[in-house]
Chain A
Amino acid sequence: MMDHAKIQEIEISLFLQALFLRHGYDFRDYAKASLKRRVLNIASAAKVDSVAELIPRLLHDRDYLAEVLAELSVPVTEMFRDPTVFKALRHTVLPRLATYPRFNIWQAGCATGEEVYSLAIMLEEEGLLDRAQIYATDINDNALQSAEDGIFPLRCLEEYQRNYQAAGGKAKFSDYYLANAGFFRIHERFRKKIVFAHHNLVSDGVFCEVQLILCRNVLIYFNNDLQRHVLKLFHDSLVRGGFLCLGTRESLRAVEAEKLFIPVNRDMMIFHKNGEAP
């Protein structure tokens, strides 16, 4: 007899197949354990007994897609998350960017934008913001809209302030936002330097040539094949000697990434494109 867990596995696989065939979003090469959790969260939010019951809605209700993507794409981030990484970027990467008259930065999987604003603030402090064009992309349109608004809950402010200082912030964090009832809004001058765009790392190709890619804690959700695919995409997007920054606990061991990238600071997971001097 087939047990419940096995049946649930079949249901999740069918759900992902339906999502792909109907809407073109392919989550089939995502790491299984955390994806299962999120699919079960969707089922629980819809108050259905089984994942299979979600499939008709996914196929026939056009508006349901956004809700599903919002849940599957995990928009969880914070400003200056892992402050030591931002410190390392400031000291290792930004001086290299300063050698370009103009440069492009791509944050892939920007979620609600906290990190890309952190980067923009740091660029301003190093006198580089005017020369930068920043692209921030995600597959979750709801998250992108929040990111573009640049509005964050006030309850996070204290933590962000701490992170900012730990990241070697040179001014007062309060120089960079306007506080309002329950929210704070990142200053306009940062928002207008960033282009927020829909981009799917699984299915979309190279869309610009960049000097720095930030993609932190996105690859942890992908299986080895998809990691390989995305790392190749990053490699193709970077200029000679361009930089890649991943999450500090991410692993590239399974995917022979050393052919594509060489560590600049392994603890901080900062790499440069292989084949050329940094």
Chain B
Amino acid sequence: MPSPAASHHSSVNRQAGQPRFQAAVIGCSAGGLEALKIVLGALPPNLDIAVIVVAHTAHDGDHLLPSLLGNICKLPVSEARERDPVEPGRIYVAPPNYHLLIEPNRGFALSVDERVCFVRPSIDVLFCSAADAYREQLIGLILTGANQDGALGLKAVKDAGGYTLAQDPSTAYADTMPKAAIETGAVDRVLPLDALAADILRACTLSVES
């Protein structure tokens, strides 16, 4: 069995000037669209990591999410397509009613497995698989939401050596999800909604210079 791509990119082997982070995963639920607009809309067009989003949306308009976000983002936004390689400088959104996963070769995979925390797509499913694929090269962010999904996933990101963020619950439309993430003890930084994009950018920039 070939070793996963991640093992070729461990921090030990990382060369000077090579960015530490390759991807960011973002999860949100209730109130998520507004939060995503603020975070994703503030990311610059030259960002060189991939941004992968799971948003719980309970209605049939789910497939509109890429175009809703595409209108306000400087990076191209599209629905994640099964088997496509994850590319930097793009924002990907999970398709409605499928779990979105990252394979060890850093390509997208879908599943119709049971709902997790009553939802599909599940943030935990994306985050856990992305943590396996990217190890310490991953940023995880939990935004507003009214359930517990994402807490386990964010802990997996942290356990693999990644950088973890949560929206300050007091700035969240629904605070259950960021609170649950914070309670795992796996969150590196808790920041208000309007400071998150700048921190992601800071982390990406610092990791190139150091």
Question: Which A residues form the contact surface with B (CB < 8 A)?
Answer: 5-6, 9, 13, 31-34, 36-38, 74, 76-77, 217, 220-221, 224, 247, 249-251, 253-254
Q: Which residues of A contact B109 (CB under 8 A)?
A: 31, 33-34, 220
A249 to B168, CA, bound (A): 35
The segment from B24-32, B98-106, B178-186, B194-202 that touches chain A is: B98-106
- CB contact between A251 and one of B82, B113, B125 (< 8 Å): that residue: B82
Contact A32-B83, Cβ < 8 Å, known A38-B113, A220-B109 = no
B131 nearest in chain A by CB position = A5
B95 beta carbon closer than 8 Å to chain A: yes
Q: Which residues of A contact B82 (CB under 8 A)?
A: 220, 249-251
Contact in complex: A33, B112 (CB < 8 Å): no
Q: Which residues of A contact B133 (CB under 8 A)?
A: 33
Kindly provide the distance from the CB of B83 to the nearest chain A CB, expressed in whole angstroms: 4
Size of the B side of the interface (Cβ < 8 Å), in residues, is 27
B139 beta carbon closer than 8 Å to chain A: no
Within B1-56, the residues touching A (CB, 8 Å) are 1, 4, 7
CB-defined A-B contacts under 8 Å, sample of 24: A5-B135, A5-B160, A6-B7, A9-B1, A13-B1, A32-B104, A33-B101, A33-B103, A33-B104, A33-B132, A34-B113, A34-B129, A37-B101, A37-B113, A74-B114, A76-B112, A76-B114, A217-B110, A220-B109, A220-B110, A220-B111, A224-B83, A251-B81, A253-B83
Contact in complex: B125, A37 (CB < 8 Å): yes
B120 nearest in chain A by CB position = A76
Kindly provide the distance from the CB of B65 to the nearest chain A CB, expressed in whole angstroms: 14
Contact in complex: A5, B111 (CB < 8 Å): no
B86 beta carbon closer than 8 Å to chain A: no
B75 beta carbon closer than 8 Å to chain A: no
The 5 closest A-B pairs by CB, nearest first: A33-B101, A34-B111, A33-B129, A251-B82, A251-B83
Q: Which residues of B contact A224 (CB under 8 A)?
A: 83
B95 nearest in chain A by CB position = A249
B112 nearest in chain A by CB position = A217
Contact in complex: A74, B103 (CB < 8 Å): no
A83 to B201, CA, bound (A): 42
Q: Which residues of B contact A250 (CB under 8 A)?
A: 82, 110
B128 beta carbon closer than 8 Å to chain A: yes
